Amino acid sequence: MPSALITGITGQDGLYLSELLLAKGYDVHGLIRGQNNPKLDLVHELLPDVQLHTGDLTDMSSLIRALRVSQPDEVYNLGAISFVAYSWENAALTTDVTGKGVLTMLEAVRLHAGDDPASVRFYQASSSEMFGKVQETPQRESTLLWPRSPYGVAKVFGHYMTINYRESYGMHASSGILFNHESPRRGPEFVTRKISQAVARIKLGLQDDVTLGNLDSRRDWGFAGDYVEAMWRMLQQDTADDFVIATGETHSIREFLDIAFRHVGIDDWASYVKQDPRFMRPAEVDLLIGDATKANEVLGWKPTVTFPQLVAMMVDADLEAQRAGW
């Protein structure tokens, strides 16, 4: 039975990836951080077969311990401080965890793997935020990186360090440059989930309106369940490499609002949406659109959920959750 160790297992992608690997017969291990982690119960409840180990990306010996007990064939490094807006307020901490944490994990894997560095395959969760002030549209693997937030800068460090360990030590280390990917499990601080939750609550009369920032910003949004499949496929290749994972479509926050409100029968949503500079950012990334041609050709990967389907799935899940009083 193959074994996998996932950092960031309590996050959206960690949960989807765990389900995927369990279904494929993997022995799944997760690194869990902190004392009395509030998300621990969620993982136990959803995924009772996952084995959890305490550790932190900033603590090398805890990573080595987790590698020793789990003896993974594959390591998926999904752990990060991942909220862009927050990264300006906590730039140093974001750098330590999201950036330097990748180096700590790579080094732990290298030490653990010993004479055969490629024996443990490594996946790094890189991000479209690395493209920031985009130098080319659509963005592909070779596009010059120009991050626009401390989070983006930290992800660039992790991305290049992954490539460096592959080139320096012959590690089987791949980097997935994933564009935004959402689902009913997305944290409510992200704009898609903030909207789907608010629309459900407005529809049910539990909330009057929702306050947002820039409604004109655009993203290439896919479904997280599709994106974890791409992660797994990367590690099944003979050769490690870097891949852009994206839908190749871009939509504005306004379009998201439009589809979400229409889905619950509200065509004119203007009076339900307020704007506040509090939710604007010191710097925005430009137009993010990914070109996933390489992933399609090499991995045979393509997204299966369309943008309207994704919005509807999120609103429906939040309607159900709100009705059930979760």
Task: Report the interface residues with ligand GDP, using CB under 6 A.
Answer: 84-85, 180, 189-192, 194, 212-214, 217, 219, 253, 279, 281, 284
Q: Minimal distance in Å, beta carbon 197 to ligand GDP?
A: 12
Between 10 and 149, name the residue whose CB sits nearer to ligand GDP.
149
Between 142 and 211, name the residue whose CB sits nearer to ligand GDP.
211
Residues 6+ positions from 257 with CB-CB distance below 8 Å: 195, 199, 215, 269, 273
Angle at Cα 180 formed by Cα 178 and Cα 185, nearest 5°? Answer: 110
Q: How far apart are CA 121 and CA 316, in angstroms?
A: 37
Q: Minimal distance in Å, beta carbon 252 to ligand GDP?
A: 9
Q: In the Cβ-directed half-sphere of 83, how many Cα atoms lie within 13 Å?
A: 12
Which residues are identified as catalytic?
Answer: 127, 129, 151
- At residue 237, φ and ψ (nearest 5 deg) are -75, 155
Between 151 and 157, name the residue whose CB sits nearer to ligand GDP.
151
Q: Minimal distance in Å, beta carbon 158 to ligand GDP?
A: 15
Task: Write the CA distances from 297 to 102, 172, 289, 292, integer angstroms.
Answer: 28, 20, 18, 9
Between 7 and 250, name the residue whose CB sits nearer to ligand GDP.
250
The 3 state secondary structure assigned to 60-96 is HHHHHHHHHHHCCCEEEECCCCCCHHHHCCCHHHHHH
Cβ atoms of 87 and 128 closer than 8 Å:
no
Q: Minimal distance in Å, beta carbon 84 to ligand GDP?
A: 4
